[in-house]
Amino acid sequence: MSETKSEVVAQNKPQQGGGYISISRRSSIFKNLEINGRVNGFIESMRASSPTHYSLSQDQTSWIIHHPSALDMFEQIMEASKGKKIVMFLDYDGTLSPIVEDPDRAFMSNSMRKTLMKLARCFPTAIVTGRCKDKVYNFVRLAELYYAGSHGLDIKGPTRTSKYNKDRKAETLIFQPASQFLPMIDQVYQQLVDKMKPIPGSIVEHNKFCVSVHFRCVDEKKWSELAHQVKSILKNYPKLRLTQGRKVLEIRPNIKWDKGKALEFLLESLGLSNCNDVFPIYIGDDRSDEDAFKKLRDRGQGFGILVSKFPKETSASYSLQEPNEVMDFLQRLVEWKKVSLRSRSRVLMCT
């Protein structure tokens, strides 16, 4: 799998004995320049993925032309899905719930939950998130959905009871391709908690197969120090990598697995991976969602919808501005499905 732009490969490439072999041979002045350059570049990248204000230099009009509102283009989108099986993939934070200061309080509204419940009756629906699967399940609380937590490293299908034996649960899909990383992730989590103590506003979140360092409440002047500290820990763990999201740095196993791979795995689990008539729709707001948008473009099936109020470089085809618009879009999908089922049954009755 090729690396995506969203991915900030850890500066600690695996090397014998650890450290930066090439750098250690250079003068200390050059070493400092290089490290500062990397960190500055990294900070720029953190700003790009976490815009705090709209930049007038960005041409919003041109961006909207290339990524029109999925609500405005609803009819055209449905036309493209005609005769195909729609499968829904949804990120959680910033997509189904608003981004809030305390990540433990990113609650979804009741109306969004009701909408999701109806959606899951119409189409196979999966939540694909960087969060720990159990934590996101506690927010959503709908057993009929698929959940892919820790950026797809922890997948669980709907819990179904057997029609013939109510006491016995039918086999549930479970997939954890990075189980061996759990002790390492625990260690890194503890170290990050200690290192982040002096940085006001920082929050370290254990997401089972990855660790998130949230900086949405950290003064921008402290972002550089925060990045330095995260990298200083990570250089001792060449089997882990660093990625960026919206006001969050994420440490995860350095394996070829991401939200795009999780999407492909779920399609395969649904028996749809080799079908020409599948139409996956993926909605997300984060850099890590780009892997899934790109996957859809590569497959030439369905499309991605980026949730953003700001122009951003994206492989998504369409856009929505905020979770409320996502809910409107999902409700329209449910209505569309009801209408198409009604008209189909009328046609059957007439034949």
Note if 186 is an active site residue: no
Min separation Cβ 60 and Mg ion, Å: 21
Shortest Å distance, C-beta 230 to Mg ion:
19
Q: How far is the CB of 349 from Mg ion (least distance, A)?
A: 44
Of 72, 91, 258, 277, catalytic:
91
> Can you read off the two tokens belonging to residue 144?
């009929």
Site string for Mg ion, 81-120 (x = CB under 5 A): ----------x-xx--------------------------
Site string for Mg ion, 255-294 (x = CB under 5 A): ------------------------------xx--------
**Residue 153 beta carbon to Mg ion: minimum distance, rounded to whole angstroms:** 16
Q: Is 152 in the site for Mg ion (CB under 5 A)?
A: no
Least Cβ distance, residue 119 to Mg ion (angstroms): 18
- 81 vs 314, which CB is nearer to Mg ion? 314
Which of 91, 154 has the CB closer to Mg ion?
91
Task: By CB under 5 A, name the binding residues for Mg ion.
Answer: 91, 93-94, 285-286
Catalytic residue numbers, as ranges: 91
